[in-house]
Structure 1
Amino acid sequence: MQALRFHAAKDLRLEEVDTPRDPAPGQVVVANRFCGICGTDLHEYAYGPIFIPTEPHPFSGAQFPQTLGHEFGGVVTAVGDGVNNAAVGDRVSIQPLIMPRTGDYFAERGLFHLSEQLALVGLSWDYGGMSGAALVNDYNVQVIPEAMTDEQAALVEPTAVAVYACDRGEVSAGSSVLVAGSGPIGILMLLAARAAGATQLFVSDINPTRLALAEQAVPGVIPINARSESVGDVVRDHTEGHVGCDVAIECAGNEHALKSALDAVRKQGTIVQTGLHPGENPLNWFDVTFKDVDVRGSWCYPTYYWPRVCRLIASGQIPAERAVTRRIALEDAVEHGFDALLDPAGTELKILIDLENAA
């Protein structure tokens, strides 16, 4: 089968690899259908290896060359002994986190995403979504609702990131929410906040094209061009008492976006940091104290979110497909996928790779 594999920064190769066929006990083979290109994949392509291990991963044993792709779904083609949560023919979404199930402080408390030995399908596992098929563990597959499309199955992973961040920020009915960064996660964050009951939504970015795409995907959102406008001033001008928003969620991994979130959030509001910052970034900690705000990290998602997020998407409460701007074939993934998403003009949001003919 064909697989898009990472060898080094700016060195992705479409290669022929063996198709997995005989799953071990507790494992599942999935014929991949759609796979999203994530911001993490882009960082690996541009600057990696970052998360991709250069030495065997301490838990999974994987190392590069690495088949990319952790946002995907497909159809089960084989199951190993003892698998009882999926059967051949089931359509599934992949929950890509891999870690010890016992003997780990966080895993034994159900917080698998916080395990120190965490590995990910498509980053530190022998298989990934940008290929014809993948071998995964039984706990990595979630049978999707009948109403969910194959494309939507590939959007569960990034949507889970957004739902968890909204939960971390305690977004609830009537909340006012600023999302800093209008990339794919930013769009999904706005949709998740609205599904949680937020009634006033703001989005900031320096890219006017992406702001326009956010307005199309999330009608009623108030766009803020952070290059020409003060994010905090716009938010205060639109909030009751001119105090700022209840929750600000930073999705850009940019120090200016984080500072604008602190400026825009009201006293005793909450800042949720979702974007990965490349290094130490200064924040005005006097304002953090003076405004009495909470600053919370949001890493991945609890694995038990999968059924909930599937229901939110399948029911239409989170129309995640609105973040998709293009669908491409695997052989076009570098030029029309990775390179297009790294274009500073930023005319694309979420690009899905159609793997129907990749096996």
Structure 2
Amino acid sequence: MSGGVVEGKEHKDGEENMAAWLVGIKTLKIEPYHLPPLGPHDVKVQIKALGICGSDVHHFKNMRCANFIVKKPMVIGHECAGIVEEVGSQVKTLAVGDRVALEPGISCRRCNHCKDGRYNLCPEMKFFGSPPTNGSLANKVVHPEYLCFKLPDNVSLEEGAMCEPLSVGVHACRRANISPETNVLIMGAGPIGLVVLLAARAFGAPRIVIVDVDDCRLSIAKNLGADETIQVSMNIQDVGEEVVKIQSAMGSGIDVSFDCVGLNKTMSTALNATRSGGKVCLIGLAQSETTVPLTAAAVREVDVIGVFRYRNTWPLCIELLKTGKIDVKPLITHRFAFSQKGVEDAFETSASGRSAIKVMFNL
């Protein structure tokens, strides 16, 4: 089913390696997952913590996320950390028993994007749980040594798994050059909006305003350190009025706006609210096509920056967690065991939204 080499029994004690397979719309089944043989530069990792991402939920609900379509059964999940169980013959930086956070995308390392250091844009990227590549909601996975990052003693496996969503925030802040001179607006207080909030503060942003339709999520954002929160409507007719409110709450020019939603309304708000010469960073992409007031933004020289996943972020994320500059623990709102019922309940909880920010599996 996986396309890997069938090695029969996986565990020395006779247990099979099991994984959560997405087999249809809202249908997950825990079934055997036969891993490929361990290459000389690979490690076998026992997965211990895994978070559910918005893209996982899209796959679960629709069998697709944007242009990534699930055409055959696929192991789901990619935000993960675990313990090294076995190392390949050429592995030098890791040992059995090491606790590691896994970066989920394997790039080709040969194309121009990879050679330029922008490997997140690699057209040959094999990314855990993004069709057709199997994910990591499994007892064990095999992964390259260079994409497994050792965790310090004071960083938990759950925090290690949170390096993946936090990486989106870190990469976005790097793309937008966030500094102690940058006032930041964040559209959307979901999981990505909240990690952008944490990252922007760690990068020194002096003032951060966050906007959402949900007062529950805004209260979480306030507790995480947002200077001001503003509840907005879903109605695009309200953009003008809400921009005035947002600018007033900032108290000075908005240097960078992060759109962590990706709707016509959120993009329009961000483009209109950002000061002349500022930047709008597009992270959330809820719609594949949008209609936004680009001309008005262009004459004010507002730069529009795209963000896709991340690159070279794990060392910094781990350092920010280790030093306490970022605390991701409050984002983990629900925990589930790795069982058929646990998997079903966890995905239903994450898909429902409501009070769920980060739903985590403990394996």
Alignment match of 2:97 (pick from 89, 92, 95): 89
Amino acid at match of 1:170: N
Amino acid at match of 2:83: V
Aligned counterparts of 1:125 and 1:280: Cα–Cα separation in 2: 24
Which stretch of the first structure deviates more once superposed, 323-332 or 86-95?
323-332
Alignment match of 1:71 (pick from 72, 79, 83): 79
2:194 is the alignment partner of 1:199: no
Amino acid at match of 1:85: T
Unmatched 5+ stretches in structure 1: 55-63
Alignment match of 2:46 (pick from 31, 35, 54): 31
Deviations 1:47-94 (A, max 9, x none): 11342553xxxxxxxxx3211111000000011121122111111000
Cα distance change, pair 178–353 in 1 and its aligned pair in 2 (3 A) = same
| Corresponding position of 1:279 | 288
In the alignment, is the contact (CA less than 8 A) between 1:35 and 1:130 conserved in 2? yes
Which stretch of the first structure deviates more once superposed, 226-235 or 66-75?
226-235
Deviations 1:152-208 (A, max 9, x none): 000001101100101111110032111111111111110100001111111111111
Deviations 1:273-295 (A, max 9, x none): 00123321011022212321000
| SS of residue in 1 equivalent to 2:261 | coil
Which stretch of the first structure deviates more once superposed, 325-334 or 280-289?
325-334
| Corresponding position of 2:222 | 215
Aligned counterparts of 2:129 and 2:278: Cα–Cα separation in 1: 36
Amino acid at match of 1:100: C
Deviations 1:8-49 (A, max 9, x none): 22121122334x495121111000010000001011011113
Aligned counterparts of 1:156 and 1:264: Cα–Cα separation in 2: 30
In percent, how many aligned pairs have the same letter?
A: 29
Report how many aligned residue pairs link the two structures.
339
| SS of residue in 1 equivalent to 2:278 | strand
Task: Output aligned runs, 1:1-359, within 5 Å.
Answer: 1-18=17-34, 20=35, 22-50=37-65, 51=68, 54=71, 64-102=72-110, 104-124=111-131, 127-216=134-223, 218-227=224-233, 230-241=241-252, 244-302=253-311, 304-331=312-339, 332-343=341-352, 346-355=354-363
Higher relative contact order (CA 8 A, sep 6+): 1
Amino acid at match of 1:260: T
CA RMSD of aligned residues (A): 1.9
Unmatched 5+ stretches in structure 2: 1-16
| 1:297 Cα deviation from its structure 2 partner | 0.2
TM-score by length of 2: 0.88
TM-score by length of 1: 0.89
Cα distance change, pair 164–80 in 1 and its aligned pair in 2 (3 A) = same
| SS of residue in 2 equivalent to 1:238 | helix
